[in-house]
Amino acid sequence: MNIAQKLMNIFMGLVVIILITLGIHTLINIFIPLSKIENTEVNKSKVIGLISTSSMEFDENNNPFWWIVREGSELKFTNYSDEPLIGKIVLKFEDNPCKNLQLIDLGMKNSIRQYRFINPETTIEFEIVFEKRETIKLILKTTQFNDCYQNNGDTRNFGAKLIYWGFI
């Protein structure tokens, strides 16, 4: 064997060792989670979606909002990620057009929580765990001391106005 062949054999041996090492490293990383569940998505809010039984409307500044009617509204939050997520759902509400004192019943996963409107704007935050591609339903009902109908032909009995939702 001449020196060129020996160098070629050494080079090929090094290439094989490097490829085997990279293959083992890749296999190990596939089976080890990349991070804790709390730190999975860079921006969690971009993988959670909302579908509501109430129609989305827009205020004079083109900001979206949803009326929660007295009979109840359903919010469906969906994790579109292929990873489980832990975070908080944030809901911000404003008064109904009649400025009635209201209670909001929030039903989720066989539990009901009740929130009272004290200020014209109320924020509700609660922890939630989403499995990958899971949809979680929230049922929102408002209880108020007086009905709130408008004299503009709209037949809805207005409850709270949902002005913002987020997942943090």
pLDDT of residue 32: 60
DSSP state of 4: H
pLDDT band at 36 (very low <50, low <70, confident <90, very high): low
Structure pTM? 0.68
User: What average pLDDT does the chain have?
Assistant: 82
What 3-state DSSP class applies to 62?
coil
- What would the pLDDT profile of 149-159 be if each residue is shown by its tens digit? 888 888 888 88
- What is the Cα–Cα distance from 121 to 91, expressed in whole angstroms? 11
Average pLDDT value for residue range 37-41: 49
CA nearest 111: which of 142, 136, 84, 92? 136
pLDDT band at 41 (very low <50, low <70, confident <90, very high): very low
